[in-house]
Amino acid sequence: MKYFISFLFSLIILATSTAQELGYEIMTTYSKAIKKDILNDARKLSDINPDFPSSWVNKYHLVKITATSGCNLVSIESEDDLLNKSQIQTLNNADLGSDINVSVKYNPKNSTEDNIREINFTYSIVPETEARFSEDYQDLKDYIKTHAIDKLSEDISKSLESATVRFTICEEGKPINPIVELFSNNTEVDQLLIDMITNMPNWKPAAGKDRSKIKQDFVLSVGSMIGS
């Protein structure tokens, strides 16, 4: 019995220790990415989305592509999975860092004419070379730990659930415009994260295929590792 009690006590200590551990990372703000040169060469839906289930389609009713160019949001429609000239031009003019939204209405195979389904997907246009703090991501993790995580008291670490801060690496590599998107339960923590990003050393900025410098958005996430 004493061995079981000791084992149970060890589990309680482990759970308490784990509950205090905070996870932290900086990631880009998009989930699916496509590079501009690939987008410029796209001539059909599968060139944009290789996983598009064209084998499901019996008949297309609408293929709409929406993209941002300058201050304009442009939507161009076609009637099948082959991109028309206006859609190709829209993709070529789309801004780096913006999203390409695609909506497809179709009849599935072995279905009636009135059975119209819809598939939607979104890709973010990313630069040829993305911005980076250094060649080793661990350097960025170490910087966050030293200048933010290690400054949190044990009580704050235990009570902090999650927080996210969005920011931009500008064309000169400087981190700018940190904005709290998900507030923590502690205003001092939120300000600490903003200050850490504001005072961060310059990154190597994102660049296009022609080596022109491009701004890029990132998000810092801090929170409990429980359940991750």
Q: Which two tokens stand for residue 199?
A: 């005072």
Mean of per-residue pLDDT scores for the chain = 86
pTM: 0.69
Per DSSP, 85 falls in state H
**CA 75, 80, 83, 86 torsion: positive or negative?**
negative
Polymer length of the chain = 228
Which secondary-structure segment (H or E) carries 75?
strand 72-78
**Residues 120 and 39 placed together within one structural domain of the fold:** yes
CA distance 94 to 78: 18
* Same domain, residue pair 104 and 179: no
Same domain, 86 and 72: yes
Residue with tokens 């929406």: 66
Residue that finishes a domain, picked among 81, 99, 126: 126
Select from 61, 92, 126 the last residue of a domain. 126
Same domain, 136 and 121: no
Domain membership of residue 12 (yes or no) is: no
Shared domain check, 215 and 135? yes
Averaged pLDDT, 81-97: 92
Domain count, the chain: 2
Which amino acid type is present at position 108?
P
Q: Which amino acid is at 161?
A: E
171 plus 109 within the same structural domain: no
Q: Above pLDDT 90, what percent of the chain? A: 64
The set of residues, in sequence order, having a beta carbon less than 8 Å from that of 166 and lying 6+ positions away, is 29, 178, 179, 181, 217, 218, 219, 220
Average pLDDT over residues 53-68: 94
pLDDT of residue 228: 42
Q: What is the DSSP letter of 204?
A: B
Q: Is residue 161 classed exposed, middle or buried when 0-12, 13-18 and 19+ CB atoms within 10 A define those classes? A: exposed
Residue range 91-119, pLDDT digits in tens: 999 988 789 999 999 999 998 989 999 99
Task: Tell me, yes or no, whether 176 and 122 share the same domain.
Answer: no
Q: How confident is the model at residue 167 (pLDDT cuts 50, 70, 90)?
A: very high
Residue 82, in any domain of the structure: yes
Residue 139 pLDDT exceeds 70: yes
What is the domain range of residue 74? 33-126
Cβ burial of 6 (10 Å; 0-12, 13-18, 19+) is: exposed
Q: pLDDT band at 225, cuts 50/70/90?
A: low
Of 111, 126, 141, the residue at which a domain comes to its end is 126
Is the pLDDT assigned to residue 224 strictly greater than 90?
no
- Residue 31, pLDDT score: 72
Q: Which residues pair with 11 in a beta bridge?
A: none
pLDDT level of residue 21 (50, 70, 90 thresholds): low
Residue type, 68: T
Residue 136 has a pLDDT of 93
Calculate mean pLDDT across residues 140-154: 93
